[in-house]
Structure 1
């Protein structure tokens, strides 16, 4: 039977070492969640084992093995209930390379490999590896490192181990008084044993060995020692004393040290609760073998998933640039910044590190950079930091008087206190609710907040847990006319739509979109809800704006597009008329006016109150419109989102005005993306620049869509990507001529023109992207493009619109070309979530979860979905096991959202989970967000969040079973 308290095993060779960590060992200790354990590391062999059997006999479930060469855990809860002692039975130093252990613990271990050559070119002994792991991965958490010198070969061996500890970088944020104590146990026959003489001897030997190993160290020995340990103490146990007397003597000494360290760490705010200690131990062991790992930081490592302070400098600079005078620094910036930083530092469940320690570690440098760049006078900068530090301390003291869960309410109260200042302060670059991220959602008052603040402060919907209500703006208090905001489920994937440019040939993608919309009509949801990211160029950009920003359906968009084309490209088509038009076009630098394009979008707004392109939507669909600068011909995008950090040298830029009132309007974005040279004049935008057709760089913007999703939703899987073209000439695309070169017809101007036109070929770009995909990914990417027979219509040939519509309708209906795309849309409606953390039993993990529908349908639409799943005998295939999508159709007047409970077993948490659906789809299709490993699902859902969640959401509790 596997030992239940085995924590770590170490296997070593002369070039590498592997740590296996069994997390169940901590769970087996069965400590109360509110307890603050003390960690004592016991290093030795036989004498150490004898002592442990006496110290931990009342609390250890399984007898500790002797001479095991690994690391076991045991506990003694006899001293104080809320301060149990966890003993680490540590024997990594006791074995050498010739010895091995095949023992394993409970559960599947987490393994970490240490490249010893990366640490040093010398041959490492197992003892040295054990000392490195202890120094980096355990010692910063422990109260006492207890060495049994009689087991290790005397005090010289202890000194060698201590010297090897000192070679590692210490944690930089532990105050001296909170450092671990070293207790060396020696055996003596003397009646009047002098421990101080032995302590001095150990210190001298440690310094000697350390200087031999670290001759080039910049630190002195004393400095290095005081960075690792508080002190080194010696206790002498009588060699002829009875075992019980020795136990009592050692227990008293350890208990004394425990109380001393507890008081010091409590004063410093570094006494950790059970779950925090377990989490820190795991994180430290993960990086303990990395040569490049920086010194361990408890504050940095305890930041929850989603926390990021990287943008604080830019966001604070943006806020300071918005205030009318420096008087507002005291009235608005300081109290708002303080409240935001305290809120971000202490999510529910976090450890309450001292605020100034957290500020120094996470924020001070970034705040200093912003203030130095924004405030000219040194006195003003000094005053700002003085006021900020005072305010942080006040807010921190208030935190200690309440709970972290109540902190969000206090932050809302702080926002309410500065409503008068925030009412006129608006930004599309900074979320003024947290000052740490860029905003993504705009409320009706014009204030914008980030997705994390949406989750943190929005009121959840009882039916749709990814919908959040904002009856009023949290920043100014005004009533919000867009009360519901929808976000993508955490475990769902991303659905992409890319729309090529092509002038009047934009009717082709509109016909296809209308066809897809008709295929989904019975669900009573608009097609725009089936995509998360939409990118369009030129005519594709107009479609993206119309359908996904203006929220027109495909039929209305097609009608408006035809009307717009007729108005924009009207003119004389006679020979003389065309010649006259050419001359005028040359003088005007364009053939047509873009006024009709702008007016068609302006007229759609009530009272001529046009809105900014930046997010007027309540759903989470991101829209990007490509364009090109007229002067440098640099690729750019306009968008209704900000997204995450983008590195330099991407090949394109996201354009955002410095002030929200100067941001690009919907009609301006439409005019810029369609301003094709020769046909339209470049569009000048005040405070932004001059822009022209985005098709000059990305006529097929699928690349942009794929790149942008990585910065908006890093780590998310692309469920499917639908690329829609505006027609292609099969003959020109796939064939080449073997005719001889003509010095008349094929002169350099003609060759340059042909090469330029080929660069705009969206079909060519599609083939390049598709050919670069892994084989397993190709089934997720679809292309709809009409093969045009004969010569392609020009961008302004309005007479061919009717013919193109007919050809597009005929092509999309033939051979069911729409089915792969429709199947992907259907499959991506469903996503999976774990209902609880997997349970380990019988050498497998039992996973229980639910499959949900991510599309917010009306009640009648849900009924149609149930009926369709039932009539098609649809089923989910979960790791090879079929599960019917519906067993029966609920007999409710108001149909509940779709939810299907499933369960499965896996041998390891790193096993890929794939769930496919068939019946509703014509072929098996993977549902949204999969495949993922169970570990990835746990991390994405934050099922284990010992330090809280950045969105301040509590872990969902499972509902009790319905009584029968």
Structure 2
């Protein structure tokens, strides 16, 4: 950032159309960055309003500051007292006038504009509102120099204007600013001043004593003896400020209103945004503290579900209320969070959710009315908070102890919808005991792996104290999901299977395809493949073999009654009379194949007792593993046919029903469908098989009837599972054969037997099952920058009939893939694309502002998710030529393969640094092979700001992960991850121009690059 010798902070200008623009020069952020211990320093903010007298006073009160040299060019300036900069309570002081005579009509670089709508006619009145609506929210002391006003009545009018604007803060009255009006004490003006002061107080009290106390703690006057020197004259004021400062620190601590400088800055930015949104409500500090980490959506639905499941399964009301209170304490009181008054926290953040949940409750009758239940929750919340403070525990450890102490009752209840560890997030992973957890709780309550990224081991269930171990993989925050979507097509499922085999061959035996995919979605036969690949963790050859056996068994022979067989024997095979009994049998059985054979075959293939939400592995053989997610599509049989998705995950908004499909999730584990039942539902094609009846759920038919294009619904599912993700890293869509393209023109109607409604309806239905046109529509709606991340694998059927039950044609379908020119090359490109998508980028520290314009250093590390050595070696084997990491414009370093894998912990670590134009500049990181086309690593395109937000690097109010580690610390690679860490010296605004001028940076093209070990 360019050198700043002025203290400019805030200004107001006309915005046109009865609006004003508040300009923030970023001064508060700059000053805080210069403090030595900003996260452990608790500032006091004083506001001095006046002109010449005010300037003289500031020079005397703050003798170590160069007031004249750092004079503000804006209406309001900001400085810190250099004498207190290293103390626990540094003094920040803002100063300005209430008259805006400066020209600031044009936007300036580095200045943020906030448009506001105020019912005033000029910038002077707008500036007064800026004091009242923004500065006084955070001020501890306000000093008004009356000699810089026309008269003392003008001071009274200014204060009345602030009073009439109402209280802009939810803080207690004693914490609001203390106003001191400073008057000159001239002996010959004593009588005149006496009457003026009396008029001053009368005017204030005319506004009403109650309203007088709304924006201010109190208003006092002080006389300065102008017969003495300036030093002596302002001693009285300096002593008064010192006394008030000492008292304010105590008052803030007692009234839950003590925050550090980083938190002050975050509050200020939040208040500016509220000001710009024309929100007329007082600034709520509790709400503002959760702006970056909001209360999870749908909390009322979580509370309602927990209450209904708990009461139905025999858990006492007291246990339920107590467990909810400790869960919410863990949710809010994360490390670094301000210790706010617990009643205010509950009433502001959680009470509406409890009120809605208790009103919607439909379980066994509760012994208390809603008002008493909410009062009970509040009392329990306060009681547990006091216990938390007395024990000195973290809220995370407190929650762990609470769960263990209540495990005798909590072990009775299970749910596959919400996480019972935190109660605020949906369940995403299942433990061997049947209790489920969200994506975050494994990090909070588990142990991170040494040799993998975002892999956690939970060695005991806190709800039932089961000792079965669960290993859980979660998606890193800066990584986007990789999606595998397989369309339906009956026996033509051999086409995507052949592609999967080719991809696996390119990857090698060590690197499994299932480990490169985060979520897989399939419809009809594609759903069966997804269940095998992800749900059962079969490799591609095993999945292909099982699919072949299954298809040949269930499509062996169509139903044929004995009488039909006899008539055809007597009258001939093509006899119409001989076929009528067969057709009648199909109609009465609602299928032409025997569904019992289908059921038995599926049970044998998918294990009759395996449920869809079960983790991978046998519960009796620890550990079980939960990693990739899968979804299988089926269609309802109702008049308004719609899709149902059965999977091993939940959406964040699982309670929302207006998505055009339903993501099914049973309330309890015993009600979850079996894997084979889901397979039966997704492949129950009309005419071929009867509907699938899932106990206590309903009847379903082939998912391809509604959503045969699996990639379409897969993209929507990803947005519901990971709503914070900007996009998809890779989407691999696999078709089941594309029929010959239609002719250019529509044929003429010939006759009713060839072009009647039966033929037209059947053709239209089969055309709707086609997916090529839907793929093209999807690609057309994509931004050109991300289109290369979406890949389609399919073949043309040529002259082979488009059938779904001809098992004898399966080899012909497979041969289409093998014989298609470029199939092996395409499979290799997909394999490379999947491998590259396992790499992601993380920032290692906060963004560093350089002294050249607004450029920033972006230091980070490229990591690898999944089986690291298998991924790295597969890339090395497939591409023996040079592989490089590059940005959009510059080379970042060479891919070192095994040399980049830490010898101590086994994790991949590649340090890179980029020199960006601006923190919000969108950039990409690619892997480029021998200067050929490049593949984007996961998480991009992105900006440094978006990556920092995803990692919660700037967390003045704490992180949702409570600062728990994402992996076991490694002294070797963690220490080398950021070679710049700890080398940057704080630059203060007091640094001389000569010293700042010596700071320079070497610029290479458009980027400045550092690569460790390259």
> Is the alpha carbon distance of 1:565 and 1:225 closer, same or farther for their aligned partners in structure 2, counting shifts above 3 Å?
farther
CA positional deviation for 1:613: 3.5
CA positional deviation for 1:436: 1.1
Q: 8 Å contact 1:45–1:66 — kept in the other structure?
A: no
Q: d(CA) in 2 for partners of 1:41 and 1:654? A: 55
Q: d(CA) in 1 for partners of 2:804 and 2:197? A: 89
Using the size of structure 2 for normalisation, the TM-score is: 0.86
CA positional deviation for 1:910: 1.1
Q: d(CA) in 2 for partners of 1:526 and 1:449? A: 26
Q: Secondary structure of the equivalent of 1:789?
A: coil
Q: d(CA) in 2 for partners of 1:378 and 1:200? A: 61
Q: 8 Å contact 1:440–1:615 — kept in the other structure?
A: no
Q: 8 Å contact 1:176–1:227 — kept in the other structure?
A: yes
Q: d(CA) in 1 for partners of 2:870 and 2:937? A: 23
1:645 to 653, 668, 671: 653
Corresponding residue for residue 583 of structure 1: 584
Task: Give unpaired runs (5+ residues) of structure 2.
Answer: 561-572, 617-623, 980-1012
Deviation larger for 844-853 or 619-628: 619-628
Is 1:602 equivalent to 2:603 in the alignment?
yes
Corresponding residue for residue 418 of structure 1: 406
Q: 8 Å contact 1:441–1:618 — kept in the other structure?
A: no
The 5-angstrom pairing of residues 343-362 of structure 1 reads 343-362=330-349
Corresponding residue for residue 630 of structure 1: 637
> Is the alpha carbon distance of 1:841 and 1:680 closer, same or farther for their aligned partners in structure 2, counting shifts above 3 Å?
same
Q: d(CA) in 2 for partners of 1:895 and 1:378? A: 55
Is 1:663 equivalent to 2:668 in the alignment?
no
Corresponding residue for residue 568 of structure 2: none
Q: 8 Å contact 1:874–1:884 — kept in the other structure?
A: no
Q: Secondary structure of the equivalent of 1:833?
A: strand
After superposition, the C-alpha distances for 1:45-82 in whole angstroms (9 at most, x for unaligned) are 22222212222223669943166534222226559943
How many residue pairs get aligned? The number is 937
> Is the alpha carbon distance of 1:821 and 1:51 closer, same or farther for their aligned partners in structure 2, counting shifts above 3 Å?
same
CA positional deviation for 1:596: 4.0
Q: 8 Å contact 1:199–1:232 — kept in the other structure?
A: no
Deviation larger for 272-281 or 537-546: 272-281
Q: 8 Å contact 2:11–2:74 — kept in the other structure?
A: no
After superposition, the C-alpha distances for 1:758-789 in whole angstroms (9 at most, x for unaligned) are 22221121111112222222222111111011
Q: d(CA) in 2 for partners of 1:7 and 1:351? A: 29
> Is the alpha carbon distance of 1:202 and 1:343 closer, same or farther for their aligned partners in structure 2, counting shifts above 3 Å?
farther
Q: Secondary structure of the equivalent of 1:636?
A: strand
> Is the alpha carbon distance of 1:48 and 1:760 closer, same or farther for their aligned partners in structure 2, counting shifts above 3 Å?
same
Q: Secondary structure of the equivalent of 2:491?
A: helix
Task: Give unpaired runs (5+ residues) of structure 1.
Answer: 209-219
Q: Secondary structure of the equivalent of 1:730?
A: coil
Q: Secondary structure of the equivalent of 1:940?
A: helix
> Is the alpha carbon distance of 1:739 and 1:368 closer, same or farther for their aligned partners in structure 2, counting shifts above 3 Å?
closer
Q: Secondary structure of the equivalent of 2:456?
A: strand
Q: 8 Å contact 1:60–1:76 — kept in the other structure?
A: no
Using the size of structure 1 for normalisation, the TM-score is: 0.90
Q: Secondary structure of the equivalent of 2:650?
A: coil
Corresponding residue for residue 409 of structure 1: 397
> Is the alpha carbon distance of 1:888 and 1:691 closer, same or farther for their aligned partners in structure 2, counting shifts above 3 Å?
closer
Q: Secondary structure of the equivalent of 2:276?
A: coil
CA positional deviation for 1:854: 1.6
Q: d(CA) in 2 for partners of 1:955 and 1:875? A: 30
Q: d(CA) in 2 for partners of 1:749 and 1:850? A: 62
Corresponding residue for residue 987 of structure 2: none
> Is the alpha carbon distance of 1:799 and 1:28 closer, same or farther for their aligned partners in structure 2, counting shifts above 3 Å?
same
Deviation larger for 331-340 or 228-237: 228-237
The 5-angstrom pairing of residues 85-104 of structure 1 reads 85-91=91-97, 93-96=98-101, 99-100=103-104
After superposition, the C-alpha distances for 1:796-830 in whole angstroms (9 at most, x for unaligned) are 11121111111122226448333543342132121
Q: d(CA) in 2 for partners of 1:67 and 1:837? A: 29
The 5-angstrom pairing of residues 826-905 of structure 1 reads 826-843=835-852, 844-857=855-868, 859=869, 862-863=872-873, 865=875, 871-887=880-896, 889-890=898-899, 896-905=906-915
CA positional deviation for 1:228: 2.2
Q: Secondary structure of the equivalent of 1:722?
A: strand
1:530 to 516, 531, 551: 516
Corresponding residue for residue 621 of structure 2: none
2:46 to 40, 45, 49: 40
Q: 8 Å contact 1:853–1:898 — kept in the other structure?
A: yes
Q: 8 Å contact 1:839–1:846 — kept in the other structure?
A: yes
Is 1:56 equivalent to 2:53 in the alignment?
no
Is 1:433 equivalent to 2:440 in the alignment?
no
Q: Secondary structure of the equivalent of 1:775?
A: coil
Deviation larger for 585-594 or 18-27: 18-27
> Is the alpha carbon distance of 1:730 and 1:823 closer, same or farther for their aligned partners in structure 2, counting shifts above 3 Å?
farther
Q: Secondary structure of the equivalent of 1:288?
A: helix
The 5-angstrom pairing of residues 695-706 of structure 1 reads 695-706=704-715
Q: d(CA) in 2 for partners of 1:364 and 1:26? A: 35
CA positional deviation for 1:258: 2.8
CA positional deviation for 1:167: 5.9
After superposition, the C-alpha distances for 1:629-660 in whole angstroms (9 at most, x for unaligned) are 11231222112111211655321111122333
CA positional deviation for 1:724: 0.9
CA positional deviation for 1:955: 8.0
Deviation larger for 760-769 or 611-620: 611-620
Q: Secondary structure of the equivalent of 1:918?
A: strand
After superposition, the C-alpha distances for 1:436-471 in whole angstroms (9 at most, x for unaligned) are 121111000000011121221111112223111111
Corresponding residue for residue 280 of structure 1: 267
Is 1:396 equivalent to 2:405 in the alignment?
no
Q: Secondary structure of the equivalent of 1:718?
A: coil
The 5-angstrom pairing of residues 437-476 of structure 1 reads 437-476=425-464
